[in-house]
Amino acid sequence: METLIKNVNILNPNEEIQTSCNVLIEDKHIKQISRKKVSTKNNVKIIDGQDNYLMPGFIDCHAHIMANGFHKEENMANPLALHFYNAIKHGKQTVDAGVTTIKDCGPADIGVKIAQKKGLFISPKMEISVTPLVSTGGHFDLFLPSGFDMEIVYPGFPKGRCDGPLEVLKKTREIKRAGADFIKVMASGGVLTTNTSPDYPQFNVEELKTIVEEAHVNDLKVSAHCHSLKGINNCVDAGFDSIEHGTFIDKKTSHKMAENNVKLVPTMLVHDFLYHSGFPAWDNYAAEKTAKLKEIVKVHKENISVAYEEGVDLLMGTDSGVIAHGHNLEELIHLTDIGMSNDEAIASGTINAAEFIGKKDSLGSVSENKIADLILVNGNPLDDVSILADNDNILKVIQNGCLVKNI
């Protein structure tokens, strides 16, 4: 199958814009890019780009495609099947926002990933972590004071709770066995879990090193949910590949991260979004969550700005699933707020993200022989990156050469 996209301006980060181009897609790959007339088959599908901007589909490096706010009450009340059907709605919302690949930080499992690959529903492609490693009493240990455990489990889906070097070693292996593409670790407290604080680290350095060594032996990267300064340092010392959130990072630790090539996925959108929209009225823990959130919002952007100035590589991630899906590219505005150029922000969610997940040869830019995961945008985001935050400006989305959004 051939598709010809005519009359587009190609926008790749770190490159000059290529104007008035024709792009030929054959099956799922970009076959040819030319300013001249392109030879095609008789049954070619033609898309008139109308002088709009063709870009690589975005990669969200921190999302939760199955999640709908992570409310423990819903885990208790809803049938298990609904947990999976959420992914259908959320997947389409995310694709419509211009995101064609995600790093899912839980709880999408191997079955959800297979279903997407088979085309059973429209969704970003997924790199999955299945479920995070959680310390007893730590962030996302959903064992309640009542004695009830709100963690969702079913055959093939491992529980994440573990303590001590032997348990974390076994749990890392279990999660790999369950089909994980990377390992996620809850290395500090968080906003959504009661009786934990974002200020304090979780897991000790020996445990963290054990996780990293086992993951790296199997060529899996390790990402840490971590707000705590001490926790960030523990993770860098243990050899982690990325820090998610990084709220209380300082200049010294930023320098250490940059030296060790540890990436930072700041997810600024989620805190700003929650701060302004709040929690449901029926959430019994809303006051505690809001108090923690206020402390994060006070310092997060300022600290991420310091990390950027110290040379830490930032990647675009949103924590969608904690907040409503489909707002993903609003994160780009927050990235430019802390000092990134529009071009750098776009790169953080395209070519740099593709490199981090090991897909630079196939994703992240509009280039011949790469997979045709593309978006057509109304306007030039290099002039105004907020264009991308309005889903109505994402005119078309192409994934594996197939049109999955068409305005």
Task: Summarize pLDDT for 230-241 with one digit per residue, the tens.
Answer: 999 999 999 999
Provide the residue type at 60 as one letter.
D
What is the pTM for the complete model shown? 0.96
Q: Which of 117, 112, 121, 96 is nearest to 328 (CA)?
A: 96
Tokens of 58: 């975005």
Tokens of 192: 């959504």
CA-to-CA separations, 249 to 252, 266, 308, in angstroms, rounded: 8, 10, 11
Measure the CA–CA gap between 283 and 369, rounded to whole angstroms: 49
What was the pLDDT predicted at 372?
98
Tokens of 49: 């780009």
Measure the CA–CA gap between 302 and 132, rounded to whole angstroms: 28
**CATH number for the segment(s) 2-57+365-406:** 2.30.40.10
**CATH number for the segment(s) 58-356:** 3.20.20.140
- Residue-wise pLDDT for 28-87, tens only, equals 999 999 999 998 988 999 999 999 999 999 999 999 999 998 877 777 888 999 989 999
- Residue-wise pLDDT for 99-138, tens only, equals 999 999 999 999 999 999 999 999 999 999 999 999 999 9
- Residue-wise pLDDT for 383-393, tens only, equals 999 999 999 99
Measure the CA–CA gap between 177 and 195, rounded to whole angstroms: 31
Domain boundaries, the chain: 2-57+365-406, 58-356
